Amino acid sequence: MIKATPEAAAKEFAVVDVRSDDFVGGNIVDCVNSPAETFHVDVDGLVKKLDGVPKVIFHCALSQQRGPKSARQKKAQEVYVLRDGFTGFQQKFRNDPALVEKFNKKYHD
């Protein structure tokens, strides 16, 4: 499922979350969810949706496998991998609704 906000092209960066079943329980606000299992099929659509966004930041739960692997498949923009993935991000920012939405502690502690 690829969803991008209409304002995506006006942003300096976009965050792509490649988690699938583990996406439930919280995510970075305004991220694009593109599960790693189908990423190779959806990558062209993702490139089109994020056209004009100069930097794309990929992550999965820990950014050790799915996030980096997906980032390697994306060549159009400047690409980054979020260190420590969503697990590290939510540990620091889960109480900030401007950065994390739909957080459910039972999925992460």
Domain boundaries, the chain: 6-96
pLDDT of 109 reads: 63
CATH superfamily placement of domain 6-96:
Rhodanese-like domain (3.40.250.10)
Rounded mean pLDDT of 10-36? 92
pLDDT per residue as tens digits for the range 69-106? 888 877 667 889 999 999 999 999 999 999 999 998 88
Measured distance CA(40)–CA(93) in Å, rounded? 30
Mean pLDDT score of the chain, rounded to an integer?
86
Rounded mean pLDDT of 36-51? 87
Q: What are the two backbone dihedrals, phi and then psi, of residue 83, each rounded to the nearest 5 degrees?
A: -60, 135
pLDDT of 76 reads: 62
